[in-house]
Amino acid sequence: MQAAPEKPTSSEASLQLVLFVDERPSSRKQIQQIHSYLAQLKAQYAFEIQVIEVGEQPYLAEHFKLIATPALIKIHPEPRQTLAGSDLVTQLKNWWPRWQLCVEEYQQNLPLPTEAPTTQTSKSAISSVAYSAELIQLSDEIFRLKKEKEELLAQLKFKDRVVAMLAHDLRSPLTAASLAVETIEITQNWSNGGGAPRLTPAQMEQLSKQARSQLRAMDRMITDILQASRGTSAELHIKPLKLDLGALCHEVLNSLKNRCQAKSQSLKTDIPNDLPYVYADEERVRQVIVNLLDNAIKYTPEGGKIQVSMLHRTTQKIQVSVDDTGPGIPVENQDRIFEDRYRLERDEAKDGYGIGLGLCQRIIRAHYGRIWVDSASDKGSSFHFTLPVYR
């Protein structure tokens, strides 16, 4: 009879353990106990152990999903098993015979060597804990870097779009201002040359007024953009994606319609079906629409009217408007209502903290959009905001 071939005795077959310890004084005694028990075992059995201080390698504790320390983990042979808790030595005594069985089974199932194992195979067969720890750390790092890269690329794309939007928006006031200035210049040249259509002082005044107002509009746009770029999107963690604004609006309206019914308010929409997508953070934009509608319902008396409309305002922007037939907002307070904790005295008895519109403004600015209100006392309010179109 042929002798059975010998099983490999490479270190791959041995038991590999990781002991997670911490430096709390309350754990010290327990850690000593487990160390001395493991030393006893070491005298009789072959196994490998790696001791890890959790504070030094927290990502490993996270990787092994540890909830308590000290903890002893059998990482090889598989399946992985974690022992943790105050009676670690007792648990280990219980499990040790089963772990030995596991090792035996594993050794029996090893494939027969076809040739003498090289140092290379015996080395790579056993995955040292330190090595896998390093791998885990590296793959975590790669994952983090990949995510960071994706976010940065998305932000760059977003900024490109904003620059295009700004350039587009600046062009019309710039053209209007240039036209006004050129008209003044031409007519002056003509009048210097003798036979010319002269501008009356009133026309001159009208043209320079027009140029000034267009320049102010450009200045406002640039201020808005600068304010928006001051890190607000990072603060708010804006994650813009391709978004169907119309669908989002219908969803919000649906969730609020009972409140309108309770106040017998009529709720109308004017949302075209062919609106382009916007580039925006869905949850943040939802917050804006909910806040504006919540205010409209809250401040509009029973039986009033609320309307939500959308408009593809320029090639680059979509405008959303929420109109109501409430008490309106006096012109002198129209900017202040977007400040944090600002409430009209008239409304102090109503529920609220005066922070909703401030948040709306931060969100919209972080999307490089604009939010404002049109209102005259007793004529209701119209809140508008813009968002960039997705391309």
Instruction: Give strand pairing partners of 15.
Output: 47
- To ligand ADP, the closest distance from the beta carbon of 71 in angstroms equals 49
List 117, 276, 330, 354, residue binding ligand ADP (CB under 6 A): 354
Alpha-carbon gap, residue 121 to 92, rounded angstroms: 31
Question: Which residue number, 189 or 255, has a Cβ lying nearer to ligand ADP?
Answer: 255
CB 34 within 8 A of CB 92: yes
Output 284 or 343, the one with its CB closest to ligand ADP.
Answer: 343
d(C-alpha 378, C-alpha 327), whole Å: 5
Nearer to ligand ADP, 208 or 266 (CB): 266
Using the CB atoms, write b or e for 145-161: b if 16+ within 10 Å: eeeeeeeeeeeeebeeb
Nearer to ligand ADP, 12 or 323 (CB): 323
Chain residues 278-337 in contact with ligand ADP, contact rule CB under 6 A:
291, 295-296, 299, 324, 326-327, 329, 337
Return phi, psi of residue 325, to 5°.
-110, 35
Nearer to ligand ADP, 214 or 300 (CB): 300
Interacting residues of 295 by C-beta distance below 8 A, sequence separation 6+: 356, 357, 383
Draw the binding track, 133-172, toward ligand ADP (x: CB under 6 A; -: no contact).
Answer: ----------------------------------------
Cβ proximity to ligand ADP: between 69 and 265 the closer is: 265
Of the candidate residues 344, 372, 374, 390, the single one contacting ligand ADP (CB under 6 A): 344
Residue type, 108: Q
Listed ranges 20-28, 179-187, 223-231, 344-352: which one lies at the site for ligand ADP (CB under 6 A): 344-352
Is residue 347 at the binding interface for ligand ADP, with CB under 6 A as the rule? yes
Which amino acid, 301? Answer: P
State the binding string over 214-243 for ligand ADP (x if CB under 6 A, else -): ------------------------------
* Residue selected from 173, 246, 304, 356 as contacting ligand ADP according to rule CB under 6 A: 356
Output the DSSP codes for 264-313. T-EEEEE--TTPPPEEE-HHHHHHHHHHHHHHHHHHSPTT-EEEEEEEEE
Are the beta carbons of 27 and 57 closer than 8 angstroms? Answer: no
* Amino acid identity, position 348: E
Question: Rule CB under 6 A: which residues touch ligand ADP?
Answer: 291, 295-296, 299, 324, 326-327, 329, 337, 342-344, 347, 352-358, 381
